[in-house]
Structure 1
Amino acid sequence: MEKYSIEPYNEGDSVSDFRKEEAYLRAKKKVDTIIGFYWHLAVYLVVNIFLIILIGMNSNQGFSGFGPYATAFFWGIGLAFHFIGAFGPDFFFGSNWEKRKIEEYMDKERKNWE
């Protein structure tokens, strides 16, 4: 039988533990979202390669035209939205991109004034 020590209640510790737990849960959810996107990407590639080959080999037009690529195109739109949902819109520009660009253009304007 294990013995547990009883420590005095410290309100600051419980709040800190709660915040750490909350941060962990947010991070875990973010990682799960990213893993979900990568699974979606893998399935997209496998299925669409198969469909493009299958449709291209069995159609009169072969691999020309939009037919063999239609599924990949429209599914790709959904995949793009999943990417934005997983990585956020700041993925391309970064979190401080807008601020840096404003400062860059303000610096150019200052040089023109001098």
Structure 2
Amino acid sequence: MENDINKNIRFKEVEKRVKKIKGFYIHLMVYVLVNLFVIGMIAIKMNQSEKLWSWNLIQLPLFWGVGLMSHAFTVFLPSIILGRNWEEKKIKELMNKDKP
């Protein structure tokens, strides 16, 4: 019985992790598509005398890219720094601590 509960808890944790990873990849896809569209529109509207690589062209990808990197860090970095089993060990530790 307890093994089934542990499997269910583990499944919920893995499901939550997969949703975070999926959310990051959706964010990445939107980032690429929107920035390609915006850069394309700016390039089409530019005169021949204007420089192609101006601040107006790179500010959106640059600042949004910083946000995308922070999203990537929150999704992928905790498992690198804290290890794969850190959450499971911490949960067991806290559950054992609360036992009467």
Counterpart of 2:67, as a letter, is G
Figure out how many residues of one structure are paired with residues of the other and give that number.
81
Question: 1:64 and 2:53 equivalent?
Answer: yes
Q: Which 4+ stretches in 1 moved above 6 angstroms? A: none
Instruction: Give runs of aligned pairs for residues 3-82 of structure 1, distance below 5 A.
Output: 13=1, 15-60=2-47, 61-82=50-71
Cα 1:90–1:32, aligned 2, differ >3 Å: closer, same or farther? Answer: closer
Counterpart of 1:80, as a letter, is M
Give CA deviations for 1:25-55 in whole Å, capped at 9, x if unaligned.
Answer: 0001101110111111011000001101112
Instruction: Give runs of aligned pairs for residues 75-90 of structure 1, distance below 5 A.
Output: 75-89=64-78
1:88 aligns to what SS in structure 2?
A: helix
Question: What is the CA-CA distance between 1:56 and the residue it aligns to?
Answer: 2.6
Using structure 1 for the length normalisation, give the TM-score: 0.62
Greater fraction helix: 2
Percent identity, aligned pairs only?
A: 32
Q: Which has the higher contact order (CA 8 A, sep 6+)?
A: 2
Question: What is the CA-CA distance between 1:64 and the residue it aligns to?
Answer: 2.0
Q: Higher Cα Rg: structure 1 or 2?
A: 1
Kept in 2: contact 1:57–1:63 (CA 8 A): no
